[in-house]
Structure 1
C-alpha cells in the first residue's frame, strides 16, 4: 500500500515551527516525514535555513510514530561522511528506530559555504559513492580506516550504534546515480515521477526496495493566492536539476527564473483545494512505481491549514485512490 509523507522544508520555516508542524502531521495521520538539509533557501522570499539535524533531534523527541528522514543530506563537502554516520546513528537512537538517512550529491547553493569550489557533476557522484561506502563501513561497527581518492578516515568508530541499522537512501537523477543507488542503497529517492529512474535502480540491484518520491503542492482555499505563492516561493524548481545543482545562491535563482510565470507554476504544481487535482498529481508517482510520496506544502505559515485539510479530505482521498 502506498504511504504518504509530510515535508519539513527548512527553507520556508524556522526550527520551532518545523517541529510543531511535524507533530501536527503525525496527529493528522501522515505515515512519514522528510526534511530538507539546507544552508540557504532557494529564494529569499522563503526566508529560512535552520540546521536540519537539530530540527530532526527535536522532532524525534516531540513525535512517537511518524518516521523521519533526510531528503537529502550531502555527505561530501559541508559534512564529512564520518560525521554524517555519527549523526544518523544518533538520530536512530533518539527516534527509537524511526530514522532513514537520505543522501545526495548536493547543490552549490548549500555546499559552497565551506570554500574549495564546486566539483563537476561526475566528481560529485564519485565523492558520494566513496562517502556512502565510508558510512556503511561505520554502520558495520568497529574501527574504520580509509584513505581514498576524496576522503580520509583515521581510526574512526561509532560508539553509539542502534540495534536497528539505519536504512540508507540515495537520490537519483540519471543512469549513473541509479547504478550507485542500486548497488549501495536500501531505498531510492527521486523528485520527479519518472519510471525510468526506478527501472534503472532495479537494473543495478534495487528490485524490491522502497522508492520514495516528493511532490510540491500549494493548498489554499483561494486558488489565485495559491498560484501567486507557488510562483513567489517555488519557481526555482522550474530550472531542472542540472541547473539547480549549480547556482550559488538565492539571487542567482531569482535571476534565473525571471521568465517563469504564475501560469507556468499553476501547470506544474497542484494549487488551490481541488482534491482531484492533488490526487492526479500523486497518481503520476504511484503509476510510475513509487510506493511512498512525500508532499511539500508551499509556504511556511500555511502548514497548519494544509495539515488540517489533509487530515479531513486529502489523505482519505489518497488512500482511496
Structure 2
C-alpha cells in the first residue's frame, strides 16, 4: 500500500504554526504527518525546536485521519525508554490507530548541550537495541523487571495501553542498524538524496536479512523514506529555498562534533546553492518531479514522507495537492499499486 506523508519541519517553524501546517496537510490529502524531536535546530537564526511529545498531542486533538509520528526521536539519552513507552502509549489512547513511534540512535547536537556524554557508534547502537527491548517489554507485559547494560526496570507497568499496539519504526543509515530495524521494528525509516546503490545494495538487503531473523519479510514492514523535495513553478525559487537546510549537504567530516546551531549555520551558509540543493529533488516540472520521486517507489519504498525546505509551506502543500499527489496516485493505479484508503 502506497502512502504519502508530510514532514512537519520542527527545526524551521514555531510550534503553533507547525500545528496549523499539519492540519492543512490532512486537509490537502496527505496520509501521515511526521515530526523530528530536536533539542536544537540546524541553524540559530530563524531556527525552532519544539518538543515532539506535546506537539503530537496538540496535532492529534486537531486532526481525525492522518497517522502521526516521529522521524525520529532518540529514546536513549534525554529520555529513559520507559518514559517514551509511557508517552506513546498515552498518545495511542488519545488517537487510536494513528500514532507511530519512530526512533533512531541520535545526534550529538541534541544531547551534548545538556552535558550528556556522547559515546561512539558502537555504544549508541547497543543503547538503541536495549531501548527497543525495554519499550517492547513494557508494551507487552505487566510488572516488568529488566536488567541491561544501560537501563533497568523493577516491576514496572504501563497502566494505560491502547487497544492496538503503537507501531515501532527504526531509522537507520547503515547495515547494522538497518538489520535491527528489520528484526525489531514494524517499519523502517531512511532519507533520500544519496546514491541509489546505498538503498538497493546495502540498506534494503540488510533490512530483509534482519526481518528474516524474526520470520518476517519486507512485505511485513512499512518501508518509509523521507523524500527531500523542492518543487515550485519558479525554478530559481525552488533552488533558493534549499538554503535554509544547507546543513544537510555538509559532509560527515564537516559537521562531526558540531553541536552549536550558530556554528552549524555558519558552515551551511558558506555553501553555494548548487550544493545545498544537492540533497533535494529540485524541479519546476510536475511530470519530471513525479518521475524522480517514483525512483524510490521502484526501489520498494511504500511510504513517502515529503520534506519541503521553503518558508511558504502553504504554497508547497497547495501545489502538491493539485499538481503532484494526483499524478502519483494515478501512476500507482496504473501500475497496480494499492493506495491508502
TM-score interval, smaller chain = over 0.9
CA shift for structure 1 position 215: 1.2
CA distance in 1: counterparts of 2:187 and 2:57, whole angstroms? 22
Q: Which runs of 5+ in 1 are unaligned?
A: none
CA distance in 2 between partners of 1:74 and 1:167 (Å):
16
Out of 302, 308, 311, which is 1:291 matched to?
Answer: 302
Does structure 2 retain, via aligned residues, the 8 Å contact 1:108–1:118? yes
* Counterpart for residue 198 of structure 1: 204
Q: Secondary structure at the match of 1:76?
A: coil
**1:315 matches 2:325:** yes
TM-score under structure 1 length normalisation: 0.93
Question: Aligned residue for 2:148?
Answer: 148
Inter-CA distance 77–54: structure 2 relative to 1 (3 Å threshold): same
Is contact 2:283-2:289 (8 Å) kept?
no
Q: CA deviation at 1:50?
A: 0.9
Are 1:229 and 2:241 counterparts?
yes
After TM superposition, which residue ranges in structure 1, 4 or more long, deviate above 4 angstroms? 240-246
What is residue 7 of structure 1 aligned with on the other side?
A: 7
* Aligned counterpart, 2:314: 304
TM-score (norm 2): 0.88
Structure 1 distance, partners of 2:118, 2:182, is: 26
Q: Is the 8 A contact 2:231 2:289 kept in 1?
A: no
**1-side partners of 2:260 and 2:125: how far apart?**
21
Structure 1 residue 257 displacement after superposition = 3.5
Moved more, 9-18 or 243-252: 243-252
For residue 293 of structure 2, the aligned residue among 282, 287, 291 is 282
Q: Give distance in 2, aligned partners of 1:71 and 1:264.
A: 24
Which region of structure 1 is more displaced relative to structure 2, 220-229 or 50-59?
220-229
Give aligned pairs, total.
Answer: 319
Conserved 8 A contact 1:109-1:245: no
- Measured after TM superposition, the shift of residue 225 of structure 1 is 2.5
- TM-aligned CA distance change 1:102 to 1:246, over 3 Å: farther
Asked if residue 63 in structure 1 is aligned to residue 63 in structure 2, the reply is: yes
Q: How far apart are residue 111 of structure 1 and its match?
A: 1.6
User: Which segment is superposed worse, 139-148 or 118-127?
Assistant: 139-148
Larger deviation: 144-153 or 254-263? 254-263
- Residue 73 of structure 2 aligns to a residue whose secondary structure is coil
Distance in 2 (CA, whole Å) between partners of 1:226 and 1:174 is 30
- CA drift of 1:199 comes to 1.6
Root-mean-square deviation over aligned CA pairs: 1.9
Aligned mate of 2:260, from 244, 249, 256 = 249
Alignment of 1:156-171 (within 5 A): 156-171=156-171
Q: Does the 8 Å contact 1:270/1:277 carry over to 2?
A: no
**Following TM superposition, by how much is the alpha carbon of 1:259 offset from its aligned partner in structure 2, in angstroms?**
5.3
Following the alignment from structure 2 to structure 1, what is the Cα–Cα distance between the partners of residues 261 and 292?
A: 27
1:46 Cα shift?
Answer: 4.3
Greater mean deviation of Cα atoms: 49-58 or 202-211: 202-211
